[in-house]
Structure 1
């Protein structure tokens, strides 16, 4: 009998039309490779040298206001800019290039230098959801902006250059590669299945599973799963249970539930290895300037840690030249995350 917990197999990702190789028997192999330094840094609530703390001077010489909740400002080192010359489109099949205009913004989640989303309250995270929503709505009014990518890189392992908890928003006139692949798959699924939504159907499939093998948790309006096709060891997808195209379409209840889901995901992550858990999180939603009724709002969490706070997953070798590969199955990862407390480990230590 084929055993998904022990035998190699491939899983298909219908969102990106790609495959991932699962090799669950490899979890037994010894590890003698690179190990990260555990994140045991104790940060102050306020750092006078931090570019993102309230009232401080940023790298470009401007002063932050003495903000007391969330704070958004234009990135001082933006990857794309609104003011640049037009680039004539070429038809070269080999050396094709397009100009890209846009804006980049930084979103500080809290005035506290030491407070990550995992340790914030639902009410505090609701303010983050509000600024995500307001920012998306604001960018929609700009004629040349077509896509808003909201994301967070948490931790030095994910290349974060400033430890003050913050995310970013890159707004571009072109739809980037990853959301573009998803939109193509969502549209094709809708056409093939008489207007149905791929992610709505996937959420229903996961909720109909009597064992809930990949469900980490759910609340009234959101489902949190380790996707069937996950690449990263403890990858998570957050899905609204009903069809929503973008953040502004959420009800007040859904905003609260999204904030609740974000808190619970990030707290469980920290509790997994009792460390400030690194990850990249991104929100995919409806672009502007077109009919995208098939687009479905969802959040991706891509964390690199594999076995402990110091051992991470690398996408190298076969993954770069063949296809992504994972050892721990999504079902095994979901079970481990599901069993974790939603009381942050620091609070548990303090209470003991």
Structure 2
């Protein structure tokens, strides 16, 4: 099928209810734009200047404990605050709409070793991170005013990570943000029409076709979605219907750690670099409503396109018209399938 789609076409994203333009022939154009530096895995296990390493002082003045596993704290420079003024300025026009936005932003350090990434951590170490994510979702989601818990990781300077120490963030909000809100609508409408789950049905189709599946284990499928926008975008989705991490059984949490380890290793091996990406879990809102339509999944959005130093830019038509990609999802999946699950750094 990969050869069948080597011409410009649009693909429908049922989770966002939007189109993406695919232009495979554009990979032939010469490149004279930005070329970034290749990112090698760090060999520094402890950095005295890192504000996330154990025992170090953070930028806000607090001192980290000598943690030996997982460490979480409220972000010193949070984008959202849990307490807002009782009265706030309001615009006078009906076209200028604003409202207060409450939230609580946390940082979760995956490991005390400054040199590691998910790709270079062991499965048991990643499993502890899965448990920590689950606990944070449960505890934050139980707060009566928190309606959504967004767990994510920005990996690498190219994706805006301000610190290379292995860590992610958890922003819990008093509202459902735009992306999960759009997915809520799409999944709810599909369930109302089909009386079945959108992602349950989609995963079965992908597993049957096989051409966009990168890897799988007993409980999770890892694939380049039909509607992928970023060159090597990944959808990681549970095979069993579950709305959020707390619903995952012990063996499913093990399988999630396994899938994360294998995927991130393949990513690094693709261009033999510490692969940048933004990754995040989409789970049911914690707004007190029944969300039987929701299916737990994660999105990986990596920017690299041609090599470790040439990335995809979302500019021009992408910003003003619609998203566009240069390689087909099928060819991206084929290249990722060909990658080893032994990290290139360990082979040297």
Q: TM bucket by the smaller chain?
A: over 0.9
Is the contact between residue 268 and residue 340 of structure 1 (CA under 8 Å) also seen in structure 2? yes
Map of 2:303 onto structure 1: 304
Secondary structure in structure 2 of the residue aligned to 1:185: helix
Shift of 1:167: 0.2
Q: Does 1:240 align with 2:238?
A: yes
Q: Does 1:279 align with 2:277?
A: yes
Give me the whole-angstrom Cα distance separating, in 1, the residues matched to 2:25 and 2:154.
Answer: 31
Map of 2:34 onto structure 1: 34
Is the contact between residue 87 and residue 98 of structure 1 (CA under 8 Å) also seen in structure 2? no
Give me the whole-angstrom Cα distance separating, in 2, the residues matched to 1:41 and 1:120.
Answer: 12
Q: 1:221-232, aligned counterparts within 5 Å?
A: 221-232=219-230
Residue segments in structure 2 that go unaligned for 5+ positions in a row: none
Map of 1:101 onto structure 2: 102
Is the contact between residue 268 and residue 342 of structure 1 (CA under 8 Å) also seen in structure 2? yes
Q: 1:1-352, aligned counterparts within 5 Å?
A: 4-40=4-40, 42-86=42-86, 93-194=94-195, 196-209=196-209, 212-288=210-286, 289-349=288-348
TM-score (norm 1): 0.95
Give me the whole-angstrom Cα distance separating, in 2, the residues matched to 1:121 and 1:15.
Answer: 32
Give me the whole-angstrom Cα distance separating, in 2, the residues matched to 1:65 and 1:3.
Answer: 55
Shift of 1:348: 1.2
Give the RMSD, CA atoms, in angstroms.
1.6
- What's the CA shift string for 1:211-250, capped at 9, x where partnerless? x110000000000000000000000010000100000000
Secondary structure in structure 2 of the residue aligned to 1:4: helix
Is the contact between residue 87 and residue 99 of structure 1 (CA under 8 Å) also seen in structure 2? no
Task: Flag the 1:64–1:214 CA change in 2: closer, same or farther, 3 A.
Answer: same
TM-score (norm 2): 0.97
Secondary structure in structure 1 of the residue aligned to 2:12: strand
Shift of 1:2: 11
Give me the whole-angstrom Cα distance separating, in 2, the residues matched to 1:179 and 1:50.
Answer: 33
Is the contact between residue 19 and residue 323 of structure 1 (CA under 8 Å) also seen in structure 2? yes
Task: Flag the 1:163–1:347 CA change in 2: closer, same or farther, 3 A.
Answer: same
Shift of 1:40: 3.0
- What's the CA shift string for 1:178-199, capped at 9, x where partnerless? 11000000000000102x0101
Is the contact between residue 106 and residue 170 of structure 2 (CA under 8 Å) also seen in structure 1? yes
Shift of 1:43: 3.8
Residue segments in structure 1 that go unaligned for 5+ positions in a row: none
Is the contact between residue 86 and residue 99 of structure 1 (CA under 8 Å) also seen in structure 2? no
Give me the whole-angstrom Cα distance separating, in 1, the residues matched to 2:5 and 2:266.
Answer: 23
Give me the whole-angstrom Cα distance separating, in 2, the residues matched to 1:238 and 1:29.
Answer: 31
Is the contact between residue 150 and residue 283 of structure 1 (CA under 8 Å) also seen in structure 2? yes
Secondary structure in structure 1 of the residue aligned to 2:4: coil
Give me the whole-angstrom Cα distance separating, in 1, the residues matched to 2:307 and 2:163.
Answer: 23
